[in-house]
Amino acid sequence: MSATQFFQPEGLIGEACQRTGFSNAAVLPANAKLVVTAGQAGMDLGTGKLVVSSDAAQIEAAFDCVDASLKAAGVSDGLASAHKMVSYMIDCRNEPLMMEIWRRRYPNRRPTWTCIGVSNMCAQGMIVEIQGEAVLSY
C-alpha cells in the first residue's frame, strides 16, 4: 500500500502551516482502512484520572490517549501515522503550546488539523479533547 500524501498550498499560507505543524490536505492510499478515535481527554493512562497539573501535561496526556486508542485498533505506529487531527480547546491561546508539543513528539508528521474553541467540556478541569484518524497498517 502506498503512503498517505500531504499537501500545502504554495506561498506564505502553506509555509506558515508547515512551520506550525499541520498540512492543508491529505490523500489516502486506495483501499485504505480508516481508524477514527473518539475525542480523547488528557487522562493519565495509568490511573484513569484527568491530568490537571498543567495545561501542557494535560495536552501531552490527551496525545497519549489518542496514540493508545489508535494502537489498540491496530495502527502500529499510532499517532506517528495520523493523517487527520481535530482538537477542541477551552482556551485557543493554548493552540501554539499544543502544536509545540506535537512538533516535539512527531517532528516529521504534518497531519491535517482543525482546532475548535469551545466554551465548556464534559468534565471539570478538562481544557482539551483530541480526536485522531489514521490508516490501518497491514
Joined grid coordinates for residue 124: 471539570
Which range of residues forms the domain containing residue 111? 5-135
pLDDT of residue 99: 95
pLDDT tens digits, 7-35 = 888 888 888 877 877 888 888 888 889 99
**Per-chain mean pLDDT for the chain:** 92
Using the predicted structure, report yes or no on whether residue 138 has a pLDDT greater than 80: no
State the pTM of this model: 0.90
Contact 112/22 with Cβ under 8 angstroms?
A: yes
Check residues 59 and 9 and name the one with the higher pLDDT: 59
Q: What is the domain-level CATH number for residue 111?
A: 3.30.1330.40
Phi, psi of 86 (to 5 degrees): -130, 130
pLDDT of residue 2: 63
pLDDT tens digits, 74-122 = 999 999 999 999 999 999 999 999 999 999 999 989 999 999 999 999 9
pLDDT of residue 27: 84
In angstroms, rounded to a whole number, what is the distance separating the alpha carbons of residues 96 and 46?
27
Domain count, the chain: 1
